[in-house]
Amino acid sequence: MSIFQIKQKKSGAVLWTGAADDEQTALDAMAREAGYRDFSAIPDAIRADGIEAAKLDLIS
């Protein structure tokens, strides 16, 4: 499992940070925490500015 950070591209706002197996799982987890079924259920108006998921490389 990796740590992902999801940001809105236009504003740079961090929408979610957490553990997930892959990018799609991270997007779905972010959407569920926001009250949606999964990422595909988020309204197009919210996704229009672009949302990006980045895998964080954390060195301990």
Q: Binning pLDDT at 50, 70 and 90, where does residue 58 land?
A: confident
Tell me which of 45 and 53 has the higher pLDDT: 53
| Residue 31 DSSP SS3 | helix
What residue spans define the domains of the chain? 2-56
Q: pLDDT tens digits, residue range 1-13?
A: 899 999 999 889 9
Give residue 26's pLDDT: 97
pTM of the model: 0.86
Q: Calculate the CA 45 to chain-centre distance.
A: 16
Residue 50's alpha-carbon distances to 3, 34, 58, in angstroms, are 20, 17, 25
Work out the average pLDDT over 14-30. Answer: 96
